[in-house]
A and B are shown apart, each in its own frame.
Chain A
Amino acid sequence: MLRLFDVIDEANIPWLMAAAERLHTAFGAQLIDLVPSYTTLMLHYDGLQLSEAQASERVLQALKGLQPLAINDSGRRHELPVWYHPSVGPDLEALAQRAGCTVEQVVDRHCSRDYPVFTLGFTPGFGYMGLVDPSIAAPRLATPRQRVPQGSVGIAERQTAVYPLVSPGGWNLIGRCPLALFDRERDGYSLLKPGDRVRFVSVDHAEFLRLGGDDASMEPNP
């Protein structure tokens, strides 16, 4: 486990991406998996071919003189369409009430900035993004839902994400994205990668359906 930082910060990402690139090169075929998170990189190497001392030495050499990746090199920018509506975002109205503003204002604020993808995890293609405007931050639900539909867009504290698959989940749901975030037939599989940037764009019901979205509505309460 390589610990590079102590706190979550967007500025960590280009450093973590640069370190991941160097480690991929340094370990080559002896690299089994490299799992980046907010502040760490978990390196899984072939322990039958490399001793712990050899691996440590290789890490030190690889990270010598490390420079962060330029922001444009660290990832792509995506525009993700979202239909923001209570029938697919059952927590949208409660979140507006909590923020003391209208539903439209919640949508405007959620769409008002680019969010970096800090890391992927939880389910395939689930990108942890942030940070949302503090006024629309909200704690996780006390009782997670058993079944969150595919494409659901959620907020937990100041993080935001799209659920790529049907799964349980405790985030506040505010809308639904019609795009496939994870596709086993697609090159690279996951639409999002750590270091990418995402801008949410509000679309109406007709556009959501035209883009292939499923508008099956949800029960308002978990």
Chain B
Amino acid sequence: MSMLRVEHSLGFAQLQDGGRFGVRHLGVTQGGALDWIAQHWANWLLGNPLDACVIEIPLGGLTLKAEADGWLALTGADLDAKLDQQPLRPWQVFAIRSGQQLTFTQPRSGVRAYLAAAGGFKANPVLGAVATVMREGLGGLHGDGKGLKPGNQLTYSAQPAVSRKMPSEAIPDYKSPVTLQLLVGAQSSQFSGDSLFQLFNQHWTLDQRADRMGMRLTGPALRYQGDALISEGIPLGAVQVPPDGQPIVLMNDRQTIGGYPRLGALTPASLARLAQCAPGQKIRLQPISQAQARQDHLALLARWEP
């Protein structure tokens, strides 16, 4: 068994797996890694199940110390990670020796880093998942929804199933322009024609109010012309528009039901990309058909096939 001890944490780094399912009718949210693509790659590098439990590290502010030798993989954002004093690039498997310190300080590219461990980090699932949801007090290392705290001990297997190399063409450039794909649907036909034109032809800016529950975009005010809605279930990635006309993309920790009109939902790959955007990021939206979205998604999943 290998072990990491949390030396320093701002409380935002948290354990995440693929999310919590089959309990949304109880008002329990989905959770799970926001950038599920980076999470999948991190697990793939070590031969873990793709949705095995990883640490999601937003922005930095985390120091871990190895209490035994082990194998880890780092993907996602470049948070200026260092292994002892040596810079550690993301998108690779690396060995950590007992006594070595792993620190994440500040974002240089992207927002969320993912640290996977041989066999996945071990924690008891709550309602079927380890996914940490702070707002609900569910999941995480002790099941109570808390982020990682100094003194926490994280255990994982001593040996990885495999140790792979990242295909270089699959490493994303988080500094590239951001275009997100929207499956148009829900109440989109009840927005003004001008609003739908603006939606796809103007730049949007990611607001400060951007977290695991929802990411608010600012730009031209969109106008909904339909009747008030009765609250209904909200799918992952739904783009809802409250009365101020500024869309909110609903992420993994969204409320289970809601009553604001929606324009449709972003594709899973677009949500992963959005998870790596910092406030102030310029974003464009592009419509995509159901058939194309499905084909793209299947092609993406095929990359991790054995």
Question: Chain A residues in contact with chain B, CB under 8 A?
Answer: 1, 7-8, 20, 32-42, 44, 47-48, 52, 119-126, 165, 167, 182, 184, 189-190, 193-194
Contact = CB atoms under 8 A, between A and B. Distances in A.
B27 A42 contact: no
11 contacts: A37-B231, A37-B233, A42-B232, A42-B234, A47-B294, A48-B298, A120-B26, A121-B257, A124-B136, A184-B127, A189-B28
A184 B136 CA distance: 11
B265 to A, nearest CB: 11
B233 A1 contact: yes
Given A38-B230, A38-B231, A124-B27, A32 B22 contact: yes
B137 to A, nearest CB: 6
A35 B233 contact: yes
A129 B255 CA distance: 18
What 10 A-B pairs have minimum CB-CB distances, sorted nearest first?
A: A42-B233, A35-B233, A121-B257, A120-B27, A40-B232, A33-B24, A190-B26, A37-B232, A124-B28, A121-B256
> Which of B21, B25, B143: most chain A CB closer than 10 A?
B25
Given A37-B233, A42-B232, A44-B235, A125 B255 contact: no
B161 interface: no
A120 B21 contact: no
Interface residues of B, number: 30
B126 A33 contact: no
B165 to A, nearest CB: 27
Nearest to B27: A120
Contacts of A121: 27, 231, 255-257
A36 B231 CA distance: 10
A123 B25 contact: no
A192 to B, nearest CB: 9
Contact of B301 (A33, A48, A165): A48
A126 B256 CA distance: 11
A32 B230 contact: no
A119 B257 contact: yes
B290 interface: yes
Contacts of A119: 231, 257
Contacts of A124: 26-28, 136, 138
B290 A52 contact: yes
> Which of B22, B230, B301: most chain A CB closer than 10 A?
B230
A34 B257 CA distance: 12
Given A40-B232, A42-B233, A184 B25 contact: no
Contacts of A1: 186, 232-233
A120 B231 contact: no
B23 interface: yes
Contacts of A194: 25
Given A37-B232, A40-B232, A121-B256, 18 more contacts: A1-B233, A7-B230, A33-B22, A33-B23, A35-B232, A35-B233, A36-B233, A37-B230, A37-B231, A39-B232, A42-B235, A120-B256, A121-B27, A122-B256, A122-B257, A125-B27, A184-B126, A193-B26
